[in-house]
Amino acid sequence: MAAEARVAQRTVHGPVRRRLSGATLAALVVSAFVAMPIVAIFLIGLSGDGENWQHMLFNVVPRAASRTLLLLALTGALTASIGIVSAWLVASCDFPLRRLLSVALVLPLAIPSYLAAYAFGEFLDFTGPVQGLYRSLFGFTSARDYSFPDVRSLGGAVLVMSAVLYPYVYLACRSMFLMQGRAAADVARTLGAGPFRVFSRVQIPMARPAIMVGLTLVMMETLNDIGAVEYLGVNTLTFSIYDTWLNRGSLAGAAQIASVLLVFVVLLLWIERRARRRQRFASQKTTAVTIDAVRLKLSGWRGWGAALLCALPVIVGFVVPVAVLAGFAARRLGDFTEPRLIKALGHSVAVSSSAALLTVILAFVLAYAARTDRSRLTAGASRLASLGYGIPGTVLGIGVLIPLAGFDNFLDGMLRQSLGISSGLLLSGTGFAIVYAATVRFLTMAEGTIDAGFQKLSPHLDMAARTLGRNGLQTLSQVLLPNMRPAVLTAALLVFIETLKELSATILLRPFNFNTLATLVYEDASRSKVQDASVAAIIIILAGLIPVILVSRSLDRPR
């Protein structure tokens, strides 16, 4: 009878429709905000003529794609080797300086890849200390007397990228090795397996999902880079977009290359999704005993050898770039008060602050919608909004410029016809374009941080507030927001610093005579004046150390 009554109700009143909540509608708006640049890229790419497509597909894309694939493969292999070995040593073994090195191995994350490229270019140059020492040891007097590997090559790009990006693999693998505990390893040892066999046959397969997640992040950062690959002379798809747009004046051609690059991004994101699903499965099969695990004792030459293996990535990825740039900056202390630098610093702070504020607001909307409405529609909106992090900055630059320029032109034409005045470039010709691109790119980072904060708050808080007479808005403002303040501030800090370091989108979207610290460094380095860029570079590195220190402090607090 009850079933018949429900059928009759549907017959009389029509199908039952679920009413969308305000939070879900807001999440859909945010996802549309993120999707608009992606849609614009494909629209402008399809607007190009067939001959342009043919030229790009046969003359530009194959060479750039092959170099990109080779760079991704070699960088992935080297970062995986460094990250896995160092993570296993600090998580499973005990050797001299282990605690110090376990934290120091994260430090290269503070060095943007383009700054590392500029530093290594000076460090390994003919006039640098390495070749100078080499000549003095073997008695050479000129470059014609000997051969030396050129850092401005594909090999140099692999070295630079791997030196600063391996911490992504290291962090993911270290966490997984700690989650495994010693139970699985001890069982394998009782069955006669040696330490190397335990590592290769037991611990590596169990950590495979974490390795894939770390490698995916490494490859997305490699795709995003433009400053390092241009300086080192590696023609990737990302640089081809920049070159086709600005140097060849073909926006449609740049959008077509960007469409090809998005295929790489979608593939990497698909790999990451699958790896995360497998990671949940693998973590359920491991033990939670991580604090009381007994590490393998390495003494004598083995212990110091392990310490050297862990110290080398820190020296190459952090000590060398900082030493080179700090040495140049120490001889230019007067540049800290130079008007050009102060102006660029002001622009960086203004853009980064605006991006942090806008990103945190949108991320909070997504996280709050996911908390209050667990429907598939809300989950789909959150997933669409998370695509921005995987999109390289050059691609976002094109996608952001098209809709903003269209709006500016529409508004200007309307005002000219109705009022006889010109509005100019209100959005595409100002720093707002950079803020928009940074918001789309770093929204996932902020949303993840805020969502993690929400996960620590019991849903019973919302229920208790509602039973005490608070409506949804009052519950949000009086209960949830005060408790979410640490997570919100952390998210804002991370977005602020990442925007401060962002170069790929900024170099394409900045207005005329508008420099940030990143573009100031880029301009000086492109004119072979790395020494003049050292002061701005040191400021960027010091800012980048803040989130790295936060991560480092959390490494030894698994409790």
pLDDT value, residue 174: 84
State how far the Cα of 243 lies from the Cα of 264, in Å rounded to an integer. Answer: 19
pLDDT value, residue 1: 46
pLDDT value, residue 48: 62
pLDDT value, residue 179: 67
Which phi and psi angles does 431 have, rounded to 5°? -70, -10
E strand or H helix that includes residue 372: helix 339-372
| pTM (two decimals) | 0.84
CB atoms within 10 A of CB 267: 13
Contacts of 86 (CB under 8 A, 6+ apart): 105, 166, 170, 309, 310, 313
Each residue's pLDDT expressed in tens, for the chain with a length of 559 residues: 445 444 444 444 444 445 666 777 888 888 888 888 888 887 777 776 656 667 677 777 788 888 999 999 999 999 999 999 999 889 888 889 988 998 899 999 899 999 999 999 999 888 888 888 888 888 888 778 788 888 889 999 999 999 999 999 998 888 777 766 556 666 666 666 666 677 666 677 777 777 887 888 898 889 888 889 989 989 888 888 888 877 776 777 777 788 778 877 777 777 766 655 654 444 444 444 444 456 778 888 888 999 999 999 999 999 999 999 999 999 888 888 888 889 999 999 999 999 999 999 998 888 888 877 777 787 777 777 777 777 888 888 888 888 888 888 888 888 888 887 887 777 887 889 999 999 998 988 888 888 877 777 777 676 777 777 677 677 776 777 777 788 888 888 888 988 998 988 888 888 888 899 999 999 888 888 888 889 999 999 998 888 888 777 666 554 4
pLDDT value, residue 350: 93
E strand or H helix that includes residue 94: strand 93-94
What CATH topology corresponds to 20-555?
Answer: MetI-like fold (1.10.3720)
State how far the Cα of 456 lies from the Cα of 440, in Å rounded to an integer. Answer: 26
CA-based angle 528:258:245, to the nearest 5?
Answer: 50
**Considering only CA atoms, which of 287, 324, 65, 32 is closest in space to residue 180?**
287
* pLDDT tens figures, 81-109: 999 999 988 988 888 998 899 889 999 98
pLDDT value, residue 381: 78
Taking the C-alpha atoms of 548, 551, 552 and 553 in order, what is their torsion angle to the nearest 10 degrees?
120
- Start-to-end CA span in the chain (Å): 55
Indicate the domain borders of the chain. 20-555
- Distances in Å between the Cα of 84 and the Cα atoms of 140, 189, 257 are 39, 20, 34
To which residue do tokens 């301009």 refer? 523
- Distances in Å between the Cα of 259 and the Cα atoms of 205, 301, 396 are 35, 52, 11
